Amino acid sequence: MKIAAIIPCRYASTRFEGKPLTLILGKPMIQWVCEKAQQAEVMTDVVVATDDERIYECVKGFGGQVLMTAPVHRSGSDRAAEAAQALGLQDEDIVINIQGDQPAFDPRCISEVISPLMGDPDLVMATLIYKITDQAEIEDTNHVKCVFDENHFALYFSRSPVPFGRDDATSFDIFKHLGIYAFRKHFLERFASLPESRLEEIEKLEQLRALEYGYKIKVVETGYDSKEVDRPEDVHKLEAVLKEQHP
């Protein structure tokens, strides 16, 4: 069985155009993401999927594997589905969708996100959550929050703080979603074939499509945070994180 990392990557972004090519400590952000993925020992392939010639040439330039995909995809997972098909992956192979704006993710979390699928052939999708320790992230709509049941299946994802504590005396943890997914290849194709769901359109969160059409998402709590680059001002924060990781 193959375990392939596909990194969907586009140039256009309303919040930060050209983000994947932004230099972080002298290297394009997409190169950082690729190199992190390659450090995960379970990977058989690491591929960037893009619709932009500039990103294509950048990845080729640092020796990465890259595929050109259609410009019409609604989400990163839809783009990853096209790339998985082009790679000739089999139905039971596992596709890891790694967001291209996570240059500091810990490669050890890849084994964590695939572990439920490796242990249960009936599971088709898993993703990562992390317990929020920075209170500013709770109100930040760029940090997606997740609530889940006692068996660690997702109930909902939201840009708003969930759950909401009505009483100040109530103490509870809030978890954020990290943008790394594990799909069985056959389900990734099914997911990409589904119409955009109502909640997905409202929250602009692709994972809600799976929940709204009745599919289960296993959530795995990781101890490894993954800072994302959402806005230009985030670059300096990521440089500080990467300097700690690579002194």
The pLDDT mean for the chain works out to 93
Residue 99 is encoded by which pair of tokens? 């967001």
**How many whole angstroms from its chain centre is CA 184?**
15
Residues near 215 by Cβ (< 8 Å), separated by ≥ 6?
124, 125, 187, 191
* Strand 218-221 versus strand 125-131 pairing type: parallel
Residue 73 is encoded by which pair of tokens? 């995809």
Residue 192 is encoded by which pair of tokens? 């990409």
Residues near 231 by Cβ (< 8 Å), separated by ≥ 6?
15, 16, 142
Q: List pLDDT tens digits, range 121-166.
A: 999 999 999 999 999 999 999 999 999 999 999 999 999 999 998 8
Reference 128, options 212, 218, 54; nearest CA is 218
Per domain, the residue ranges of the chain are 3-127+178-245
Q: What pLDDT is stored for residue 11 in this prediction? A: 83
Q: List pLDDT tens digits, range 66-111.
A: 999 988 888 989 999 999 999 999 999 999 999 888 898 999 999 9
Reduced to 3 states (helix: H, G, I; strand: E, B; else coil), residue 94 is strand
What value does the mean pLDDT take over residues 210-223?
Answer: 97
Q: What pLDDT is stored for residue 100 in this prediction? A: 86
Tell me whether the omega of the peptide bond preceding residue 121 falls within 30 degrees of 0, making it cis: no
User: pLDDT: is 179 or 228 the higher one?
Assistant: 179
Please state, in angstroms and rounded to a whole number, the distance separating the CA atoms of residues 85 and 82. 5
R_g over Cα of the chain = 17
Q: List pLDDT tens digits, range 12-48.
A: 776 777 889 999 999 999 999 999 999 998 999 999 9
Please state, in angstroms and rounded to a whole number, the distance separating the CA atoms of residues 62 and 31. 7
Residue 208 is encoded by which pair of tokens? 């809600």
What is the pTM (predicted TM-score) of this model? 0.92
Q: What pLDDT is stored for residue 196 in this prediction? A: 95
Q: What pLDDT is stored for residue 14 in this prediction? A: 65
Amino acid making up residue 235: V
Q: What pLDDT is stored for residue 230 in this prediction? A: 77
Q: What is the CATH number of domain 3-127+178-245?
A: 3.90.550.10
Q: What pLDDT is stored for residue 48 in this prediction? A: 97
Q: What pLDDT is stored for residue 184 in this prediction? A: 97
**Could you tell me the pLDDT band of residue 241, with boundaries at 50, 70 and 90?**
confident
Q: What pLDDT is stored for residue 236 in this prediction? A: 83
Helices (H), 62-101: 76-86
Reference 99, options 173, 179, 164; nearest CA is 179
DSSP 168: T
**Could you tell me the pLDDT band of residue 120, with boundaries at 50, 70 and 90?**
very high
